[in-house]
A and B are shown apart, each in its own frame.
Chain A
């Protein structure tokens, strides 16, 4: 009854959008997720039946046994037999629920004999994926533009559920996730796989999946992890095994080339404009979440860069904190996350944006020299 009321209200407010809105748990794309879905529906229906019986008896009394209809109160007030019945019957129903729940749970926790192992690491506020069997690793950041979040641009179809570099996995193979965190607790969740596991700093957790269908699957961080908890989605692309093999080989090669390219760039000077352009995009992607797009930070939580002594004067300290982070604070070490070129650009940007006009350029070579001195 209540559902119908809600549906009617929904129809009132937006009749067209309802068709697209999902109102139930997804069946997902794995054997486990579909078992979970069936379990969910079974228990939901059992609850509905119990609800109909209990509420039915209640509404019957409310309509029939009312004083305005001349009902005279009975005086009975206990009956051991019924008490025993309505203790035993629910107990038996619960046993009926516990059996499929137990078998499903045991299947979900069996991580043995995996074909592919991926190390998933959460940090404020992005995911990092590292393939155990290949030299491939990368960060996966929210790709939705700040202008969409701030309502200056129309929101795209996958608003807040899109990343710059999704996790790519093969279909039909058992994929094992080793989940951990670099700072606070996060939770890696993809509803289509029925996988949700907390990422605990200093500890690893395991989960696994075997995806039937190629496709793009989206999820989100599910454990409050600070300011941008709502802005660290998970996107997984499942490809046919052959396609996956191609992709991972190409990616391995690309990452190797990028490292070589890095060395070559060392000898190149970048112009102020180039540095500022690249720096701005890196800043908005990696720094603005805390230090804000205007460089003013959040007083008491994230320090301002605009007008800060470090950004105006102390170049070595500036490089140090960006590359190595600041222990015990939310400032992470970007030395392993960004390329030398990006590091140089973002430091230059921070020293010249928002009226910080120092006019100083920091080059990839400077950062490299600092890192290997």
Chain B
């Protein structure tokens, strides 16, 4: 019954397998079970989503009308900064790690993650990282106020002392992500059931596999960047200070060398989720499986060649601007292939529209809109006009909220029956979907107009011609924020009870996870399944 998964674990542990789980707090503190840790990650990310969302509400409330009403500009900057950090590192990334923990072992027929103890650690250091980050908001001088991109020298010479805490918490987040990524890679390489060849793996496993390599490659670079910020601020180095021979623009090169792959870290697992859900509800196999894998890999590789498209206005020579413009435009090709494949999967299927499918369809449409604005942003001469305006804000919220977050919602609805053993309340879930999709577009679509009309991002107050647009955006924001509380209620309700879920509640679904009962037993696939 032992598998390679226990190679690093001590062997005594093998004996308390059969549902001898501890109870109470210790179960969660000391758990090495991939399903427990997956749940911890998912709950944590949801809490962070609400915290970051609350900050967004502060931002939208201040921007509801021109003039300063609620907060002072310094606090406003802290809100935009911490909102960004929390949503990226606290909500989206842990949610994907949670899904990976829950689903990857079940999808490849493994009994657990390969490194269960490290798994426990990689989760439990996260709450400390965010406690430090959030705690810094209460320091004298306030928390980080230099934007989530922490450009030097605003984050070095001109920042408050909370910067040290910010750096420390980013380090912990990075370590957590790296450990999670190592675990995913080792699990996928070593723990696949016999017969589960690489090209038979579900796309969610594939996209996470590639994402994990991206994480390994770029999180250390982020750690390097924050370390340099720390030494520049406190230890007299001048990496980014022209006075000592450094260059503030170099910070941006290093940051975006991390930052652009990071963007794909937050979207590739979404592609995997959508590639699981669309075939399930069209009752037709995914179109172009192999091309999906190659497209994902192509996107990941290209992501290392496009970082400077975030920096067109920093004053690069023309040859560099052209190079980065062409590479960026090139990314549209593999991304397009994915979209076309999904549409081809739907073509001549037999579709039904349960909530996971609704979110997945919304993902395809709205992510594509985000892709269009991304293509527009890639065109350097026009980017000079778009850069650092609300057009950019609209663009990345389309890819991150209606992209990443919507795919996470879709995944949650799709796998909730497997996790809890109950069907969620379909009526409430449909309400959640329709309210979300209306409010999210009221929230983010008008931002395109604000940006085109010339409204810069990260400002606490604005000229009068932006007043109407901002009012609409804020109303959409409040509505979208409130709607997400419904999701909390739906999940709690589903955990507590509801219609019993079958082992395979979706008739078109495919994959090993549907061969085990619902709820999934504490231990699954202790004997590897047969793969045809």
Please name all residues of chain A whose beta carbon is closer than 8 Å to the beta carbon of B425 when the two chains form the complex. Answer: none
Name the residue on A nearest B162 (C-beta). A300
Let me know if B325 and A98 touch, CB within 8 A: yes
Residues of A within 8 A of B385 (CB): 25, 36, 40, 191, 194, 196
**Is the CB–CB distance between A23 and B452 below 8 Å?**
yes
Q: B426-460: contact bitstring with A at CB < 8 Å (1 yes, 0 no)? A: 00000000000000011001100100111011111
Chain B residues with Cβ below 8 Å from A102 are 322, 325
Give the complex CA separation of A201 and B288 in angstroms. Answer: 50
Nearest CB of B to A12, in Å: 9
Q: Kindly report which residue of chain A lies nearest to residue B243, judged by CB atoms.
A: A202
Task: Tell whether, in the assembled complex, residue B462 and residue A83 are in contact, meaning their CB atoms are under 8 Å apart.
Answer: no
CA distance A197 to B345 in the complex (A): 45
Contact with A along B328-366 (1 / 0, CB 8 A): 011011001101100111111111110000000100110
CB-CB < 8 A to A87: which residues of B? Answer: 333, 336-337
Name A17's contact: one of B375, B384, B452, B468 (CB within 8 Å). Answer: B468
Given contact pairs A57-B343, A87-B337, A228-B73, A13 touches B376 in the complex (Cβ within 8 A): no
Asked if A66 and B352 sit within 8 Å, CB to CB, the answer is yes
Q: Does B154 contact A (CB under 8 A)?
A: yes
Chain B's closest residue to A39 (CB) is B382
Q: How far is the CA of A194 from the CA of B248 in the complex (A)?
A: 24
CB-based nearest A residue for B285: A77
Decide yes or no whether A109 CB sits under 8 A from chain B.
yes
A201 to B251, CA, bound (A): 13
Contact B322 A105 (CB under 8 A): yes
Could you give, for residues 201-237 of chain A, a 1 whenever the CB lies within 8 Å of some chain B CB and a 0 otherwise? 1110110000000000001111111111111000000
Cβ of B502 within 8 Å of any chain A Cβ, yes or no, is no
User: Given that A22-B453, A65-B350 are known contacts, is A86 also in contact with B372, CB under 8 Å in the complex?
Assistant: no
Given contacts A187-B388, A197-B315, A198-B313, contact A83 B368 (CB under 8 A): no
- A185 touches B (CB below 8 Å): yes
Of chain B, the residue at the smallest CB distance from A47 is B372
Interface presence of B380 (CB below 8 A): yes
Q: Which residues of chain A are near B23, meaning CB under 8 Å?
A: none
Query: B248–A65 contact, CB under 8 A?
Result: no
Identify which of residues 270-316 in chain A touch chain B, using a CB-to-CB cut-off of 8 Å: 298-301
Residues of B within 8 A of A148 (CB): 67
- B325 and A40: CB pair below 8 A? no
Decide if A61 is an interface residue (CB 8 Å cutoff): yes
Residue of A nearest to B286 (CB): A77
> Which residues, 1 to 48 on A, are CB-close (under 8 Å) to B?
2-3, 5-6, 9-10, 13-14, 17-18, 20-26, 35-36, 39-40, 43-44, 47
A22 surroundings in chain B (CB, below 8 A): 452-454, 465
Min CB distance, B252 to chain A, in Å? 9
Whether B346 contacts A62 by the Cβ 8 Å rule is yes
**Contact call B442/A6, Cβ cutoff below 8 A:** yes
Judged by DSSP, the binding face of A is mixed
B460-511 at interface with A (beta carbon < 8 Å): 460-469, 471-472, 475, 508
**A78 near B313: Cβ-Cβ < 8 Å:** no
Q: Are B352 and A68 in contact (CB under 8 A)?
A: yes
Q: Judging by beta carbons under 8 Å apart, are B389 and A222 in contact?
A: yes
Q: Are B248 and A201 in contact (CB under 8 A)?
A: yes
The 8 tightest CB contacts between A and B, nearest first, are A202-B242, A300-B141, A230-B459, A300-B140, A205-B315, A47-B372, A74-B348, A77-B285
Ordered by A's residue number, 17 sampled pairs between the chains whose C-beta atoms are within 8 Å are A13-B472, A40-B376, A40-B379, A58-B346, A61-B349, A66-B352, A71-B348, A79-B287, A98-B326, A105-B325, A149-B67, A160-B66, A189-B456, A202-B248, A226-B146, A227-B73, A301-B160
Interface residues of chain B, those whose CB is within 8 Å of chain A, are 66-69, 72-74, 77, 139-142, 145-147, 151, 153-154, 157-158, 160-161, 241-243, 247-249, 282-291, 313-315, 318, 321-322, 325-326, 329-330, 332-333, 336-337, 339-340, 343-353, 361, 364-365, 368-369, 372, 375-376, 379-382, 384-385, 387-389, 441-442, 445-446, 449, 452-454, 456-469, 471-472, 475, 508
Having A25-B453, A183-B157, A227-B145, one finds 4 other A-B pairs with CB under 8 Å, namely: A39-B381, A105-B322, A109-B321, A203-B242
Q: Which A residues contact B (CB, under 8 angstroms)?
A: 2-3, 5-6, 9-10, 13-14, 17-18, 20-26, 35-36, 39-40, 43-44, 47, 50-51, 54-55, 57-58, 61-62, 65-68, 71-79, 82-83, 86-87, 90-91, 94, 97-98, 101-102, 104-106, 108-109, 124, 148-151, 155, 157-161, 179, 183-185, 187, 189, 191, 194-198, 200-203, 205-206, 219-231, 298-301, 328, 330
